[in-house]
Amino acid sequence: MAAEDSSIRHESLAACKSCKDAFPPIRGALCGYNSGKALADVKAGMNVALLAFPQSMAYAVVAGLPLFYGIFTEIVSGIVAPLTSGSRFIIAGATNATAVLFFATVASLGLSPGQTLGMVPLLLFLVGVFILLGALAGVANFIQFVSRSVIVGYITAAAIYIIVGQLAHALGLSLHGGGASVFTKAWATFAALPSAHVPTLALSFATAACYWILERHRPGWPNVALVLVAMSALGALMNFTLSPVLAEGSAIRHLDAIGVSSWKWHAPSFSVSSVTLVFETALVLAFLCTLEAVSVGKSVAARAGEKFDVTHELAGVGAANIASSCLGGMPVSGSPVRSQLSWASGANTPLAHVFSSLFVGAALLALGPLVRFIPVCSLATLIVFIGVSLINRHVLRVVFKSTKGDAVVFVVTFASALVLRLDIAIVIGTALSIVLFLRKAAVPQLVEYGATESGTLAPIEVPQPSDGRQTIAVMHVEGDLFFGAAELFRDQMRRICEDKGLKIIILKLRNAHHLDATSILALEELIHYMKEQRRTLMVSEAGTETMRIFESSGLAEVVGRENIFPDDLQNPTLPTARALRRAREILGTKDAHISIVLGVQKRADKPALRP
């Protein structure tokens, strides 16, 4: 019997393993699914749906789209993404960042509202295709080069866009123009303040007070939904009470009802002109969706202590965007708030996301007609609170207190977003963060070594001049010697060679990485220069990859094979000891001065020493 049980157990494990390797990935996630997991998924799905229903409407308002776009996006993406990715970490749907970027970039195209709605399916289809191609190409691996300061700068600017964009609705103002620029819209709002609608203003203050009290004392409740219900009742009461004294058409404005009848198939319409028009916008949106989804997924997966499959996750987000393009939705990314809530609520499998979407669909059927009772100003006030919550003072403090580079990236991204456009700001911030990364990576560390009293080699802080004595310089090179560092490295080496007593340089390359054609050519030029000065360059502790590049490029012949001492993992100090012995043989003396002349140089014109 024991042997039979063991055999069954092994067969079950083998079945689960083969299931995990199958497509779609959700088959692996559902291995061993039972009633306990189902109950936890239903609970998590209910908690997320209570937040997602009002939140998705708010995101549609931010994006400048009809309310049902946000609801439909939540339903479609919540089903398609988890079934494709097989993950419980990302709740796919509309987000603040994608909604603001969508509004800002589409507004820059100069389209009428009708033309904008007609372009949405094509735009989302291209976004989905770009994300899928990025997943297949492993583009997510490059996200690590995007500084967190870029994201913070973008999100902070997006928060300003959200707040300024909703103030007019919250105050009951009638704006005439204002433009898409945050500055022009802010000025138009300020200029229109005398025309504020008093009942609307009062209801907005009541909304803010109610939401603030609930968030302070009952943060775990579905406060957005509760406030909207309470303010709907209060708004109806105010309209009824004040109707005798209010002028015709000056009652508190409400949202339009939504229903399933608005749900239609919208196939993308392709043409050269339309694809050209939205191509750049789709590319930037795809980049932001990828960036946000990967960041959210990694964060939740880290809290759960599990591995995050970037390819599958992005495939789910890409598929959700394509589905959303055909079923009346808006851009899909990974929601930070809903993803964290789902995990905290005990979601066990991707079906928790599916249940959430089904609950949102049920809410659409039951509550869609009642949306017409929600005051516009109350929803706008809650959106303002969402915008304020995006400005994280702790994160801003860390960005400004860490390094000057982080502060510069943040300021440039933030200012570009406000002065130019959000999509341009992302490109500028990302490019700047990569440039700063390359600038740091392109500074090889040259550590000074000298002979101690005991006769061993050790790093020293103060360079010891040779005083005309024959000198052997042992140089420990640390860092990347790719094309960005090659010229600086060569210039540093030339300065070292200015010591007239210097006869031989021994480069320790164990911790030097990423040599390329530029660095090889720079080394060749340096060797030729040293030969003209009757000096010798030797290499010790060269690793396997370094030796391969030396051999394939022909640099080994230029250096001289007798002057190269490959790394020895069994005896790490042996290669340099052999190099020193060879150097003494060349000089014909055992009393040569062993030292180095220069430490780390951060700038080409200003050397700086580092032990």
Tokens of 314: 């992005």
Strands 92-93 and 601-603: unpaired
Neighbouring CB atoms inside 10 A of 286's CB total 26
Residue 423 identity: D
Phi, psi of 45 (to 5 degrees): -60, -40
Nearest residue to 140 (alpha-carbon basis) of 279, 413, 406, 334: 334
Q: Is the peptide bond before 24 cis (omega within 30 degrees of 0)?
A: yes
Rounded CA gap, 223 and 186, in Å?
A: 28
DSSP run (H or E) holding 323: helix 310-326
Q: What is the mean pLDDT of residues 485-508?
A: 75
DSSP structural state of residue 306: -
Give the model confidence (pLDDT) of 115-158 as tens digits: 888 899 999 999 999 999 988 887 767 777 788 899 899 989 99
- Residues contacting 308, CB < 8 A, separation 6+: 89, 297, 298, 301, 302
Give the model confidence (pLDDT) of 444-487 as tens digits: 655 555 555 665 555 555 455 555 567 788 887 877 776 666 66
Please state, in angstroms and as integers, the Cα–Cα distance from residue 307 to each residue in 87, 150, 294, 300, 343, following that order: 10, 25, 12, 10, 15
Asked whether 450 and 599 are in contact (CB, 8 A), the reply is no
Residue-level pLDDT at 599: 40
Q: What is the mean pLDDT of residues 93-110?
A: 87
Tokens of 48: 């997320």
CATH number for the 443-607 domain, one of 3.30.70.580, 3.40.50.10310, 3.30.750.24, 3.40.50.300? Answer: 3.30.750.24
Give the model confidence (pLDDT) of 365-411 as tens digits: 999 999 999 999 999 999 999 899 889 899 899 899 888 888 999 99
CA dihedral 107, 108, 114, 116 (to 10 degrees): -90
Alpha helices for 86-194 (secondary structure H): 96-107, 113-137, 148-171, 182-191
Residue-level pLDDT at 249: 62
Give the model confidence (pLDDT) of 557-598 as tens digits: 999 999 999 998 888 889 988 998 999 888 887 777 776 443
Give the model confidence (pLDDT) of 323-365 as tens digits: 999 988 899 999 988 998 898 898 888 899 999 999 999 999 9
Please state, in angstroms and as integers, the Cα–Cα distance from residue 518 to each residue in 380, 489, 511, 515, 530, following that order: 56, 11, 18, 8, 18
- Residues contacting 339, CB < 8 A, separation 6+: 89, 90, 91, 296, 297, 300
Give the domain ranges of the chain: 35-435, 443-607
pLDDT confidence band for 501 (50 / 70 / 90): confident
pLDDT confidence band for 108 (50 / 70 / 90): confident
Residue-level pLDDT at 13: 38
Residue 566: beta bridge partners? 542
Asked whether 88 and 48 are in contact (CB, 8 A), the reply is no
Alpha helices for 264-309 (secondary structure H): 272-304
Q: Which three-class secondary structure state does DSSP give residue 111? A: coil
**Complete DSSP assignment for 329-358:** ----EE-HHHHHHHHHTT--STHHHHHHHH
- Residues contacting 51, CB < 8 A, separation 6+: 222, 224, 225, 337, 338, 341
pTM over 0.85? The answer is no
- Residues contacting 363, CB < 8 A, separation 6+: 49, 53
Phi, psi of 450 (to 5 degrees): -150, 165
**Complete DSSP assignment for 175-226:** -----SSHHHHHHHHHHTGGG--HHHHHHHHHHHHHHHHHHHH-TTS-HHHH
- Residues contacting 446, CB < 8 A, separation 6+: 475, 476, 477, 492, 496, 596, 598, 599, 600, 601
Give the model confidence (pLDDT) of 19-43 as tens digits: 555 556 666 667 778 888 899 999 9
DSSP run (H or E) holding 8: helix 2-20
